[in-house]
């Protein structure tokens, strides 16, 4: 394995469990993406506000443009509103504040480093605060290896040179654009002793990665951490095998031998349902790759590419069409729709930097209803309380199996 292998703190959730992934990733050309570049811009935005020593609020930077890797982000009201709570909380904490501190993991993983978004040192407590700007996958703070690595790096880079070793490190994730992600008012504490024990694990991980022989291993971490190996034409062999093993089919040219759902054990059914979204995504990628291969003249055996169903019709020149329709139909050429409650809230609800219309919004709230969400299956580790089984709503003498909404 090359000496420059990058084992970043942000990838540790995957690397700890799949130590061969670094080897496979080193074979790929590294590219950035808009989501990552947007996150970098928002980190710089928050850094500027925090380093202003109270002279700037997030709202003061609305309209300012930040650039990263050629990606430009202009700060909007939404960005400012998502940042303000975390920034207010940080400013209220006692102690020394350090922002965007580069930290080294040299004692545990030579030549590896990261950047700690925010650190606050107050006597025997060190707070490690991390912004997460993604809205797709929720990131929780409990036992989070990325933040534990930042804490180790901060200990080595900043604290020990000063002769300081706090007994407790408090980890916080602020993910304001995902309702299920970590928030500034939640935290997870780890003792110095346990943190140093985590450092010993990192030494093992580093040794395995650098050996160049560690296997790729698929598992729960594949749901939570993105891996570019999955995007390649062949995908990740370990992940592909896990998907096939989950479904348990036998494939041949004439038939697909899927198990009868009624004969699948509850344990196996639960595992398949738990991975249903990933299975669908995996099958969709296979389909896309097969289409790409056909376009390139490498059609998969047994298939061929043909024109699909035509899409919806549209006007190639909307302005010209508007003139014709307007002349022919007048006002009936257009359709109008009342704004949704969410759109009305954005326009009318007063905010920190928005006057809104308090009277109208108050009246509208009396007219807003919301259906209960359709029950969904999630992992049993999900913090939401489970719904009671239907049978629990009946007396012993009642038969839940005959219950009908029409009764």
**Same domain assignment for residues 38 and 180:** yes
Number of domains comprising the chain:
2
In this prediction, residue 8 carries a pLDDT of 87
Residues 62 and 125 in one domain: yes
Residues 47 and 140 in one domain: yes
Domain co-membership, 102 together with 71: yes
Look at residue 3 in the predicted model and tell me its pLDDT.
44
Question: Residue 307 falls within a domain, yes or no?
Answer: no
Whether 291 and 164 map to the same domain: the answer is no
Residues 64 and 98 in one domain: yes
Domain assignment present for 263: yes
Residues 159, 103 share a domain? yes
Q: Domain for residue 121, yes or no?
A: yes
pLDDT single digits (tens) 113-161? 999 999 999 989 999 999 999 998 899 999 999 999 999 999 999 999 9
- Inform me whether the pLDDT recorded for 242 exceeds 90: no
| 3-state SS assignment for residue 337 | coil
Closest by CA to 9, choosing from 119, 144, 141, 138, is 144
Q: What is the pLDDT of residue 168?
A: 98
pLDDT number for residue 181: 92
Q: Which span out of 46-60, 247-261, 375-389 was modeled with the highest average pLDDT?
A: 46-60
What is the model's pTM? 0.71
Model confidence pLDDT, tens digit, residues 287-328:
888 888 888 889 888 888 888 888 889 899 999 999 999 999
User: Of 125, 185, 170, 132, which is closest to residue 9 (Cα–Cα)?
Assistant: 132
pLDDT at 404: 37
Query: Is the confidence at residue 190, as pLDDT, over 50?
Result: yes
> Is residue 25 domain-shared with residue 77, that is, in the same domain?
yes
What would the mean pLDDT of 249-266 be, rounded to a whole number?
Answer: 63
Q: Is residue 83 part of a domain?
A: yes
DSSP output for 137-172: S----TT-HHHHHHHHHHIIIIIGGGT---SEEEEE
Domain coverage including residue 238:
233-295
Do both 259 and 171 map to the same domain? no
Say if residue 69 is in the same domain as residue 122.
yes
Q: Element (H or E) spanning 15, and its range?
A: helix 12-17
Q: What is the average pLDDT across 256-276? A: 75
Q: Do residues 188 and 252 both lie within one domain?
A: no
**405 part of a folded domain:** no
pLDDT at 2: 43
Please indicate, yes or no, if residue 343 is contained in any of the structural domains. no
């Amino acid at each position: 394995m090359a000496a420059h292998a990058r084992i970043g703190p942000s990838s540790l959730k995957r690397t700890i469990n799949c130590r061969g992934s670094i080897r496979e990733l080193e074979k790929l050309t590294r590219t950035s993406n808009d989501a990552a570049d947007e996150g970098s811009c928002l980190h710089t935005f928050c850094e500027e506000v925090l380093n202003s020593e109270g002279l700037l609020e997030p709202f003061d930077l609305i309209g300012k443009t930040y650039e990263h890797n050629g990606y430009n982000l202009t700060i909007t009201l939404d960005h400012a509103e998502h940042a303000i709570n975390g920034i207010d909380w940080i400013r209220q904490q006692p102690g020394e504040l350090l922002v965007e501190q580069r930290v080294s993991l040299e004692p545990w993983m030579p030549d590896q480093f990261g950047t700690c978004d925010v650190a606050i040192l107050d006597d025997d407590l060190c707070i490690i605060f991390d912004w997460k700007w993604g809205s797709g996958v929720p990131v929780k703070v409990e036992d989070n290896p990325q933040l534990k690595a930042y804490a180790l790096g901060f200990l080595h880079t900043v604290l020990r040179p000063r002769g300081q070793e706090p007994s407790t490190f408090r980890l916080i994730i602020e993910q304001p654009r995902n309702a299920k992600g970590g928030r500034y008012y939640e935290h997870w504490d780890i003792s110095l002793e346990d943190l140093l024990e985590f450092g010993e694990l990192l030494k093992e991980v580093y040794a395995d990665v650098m050996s160049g022989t560690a296997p790729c291993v698929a598992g729960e971490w594949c749901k939570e951490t993105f891996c570019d190996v999955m995007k390649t034409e062949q995908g990740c062999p370990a992940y592909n095998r896990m998907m096939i093993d989950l479904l348990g089919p036998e494939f041949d040219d004439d038939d697909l031998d899927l198990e009868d759902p009624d004969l699948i054990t509850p344990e196996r059914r639960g595992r398949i349902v738990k991975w249903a979204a990933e299975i669908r995504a995996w099958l969709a990628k296979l389909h896309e790759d097969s289409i790409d291969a056909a376009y390139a003249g490498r059609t998969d055996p047994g298939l061929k590419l043909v024109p699909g169903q035509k899409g919806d019709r549209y006007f190639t020149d909307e302005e010209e069409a508007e003139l014709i329709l307007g002349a022919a139909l007048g006002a009936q050429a257009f359709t109008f729709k009342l704004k949704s409650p969410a759109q009305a809230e954005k326009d009318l609800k007063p905010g920190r930097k928005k006057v809104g219309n308090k009277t109208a919004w108050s009246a509208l709230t009396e007219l807003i209803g919301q259906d209960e969400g359709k029950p969904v299956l999630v992992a049993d580790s999900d913090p939401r309380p489970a719904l009671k089984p239907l049978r629990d709503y009946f007396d012993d003498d009642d038969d839940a199996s005959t219950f009908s909404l029409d009764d």
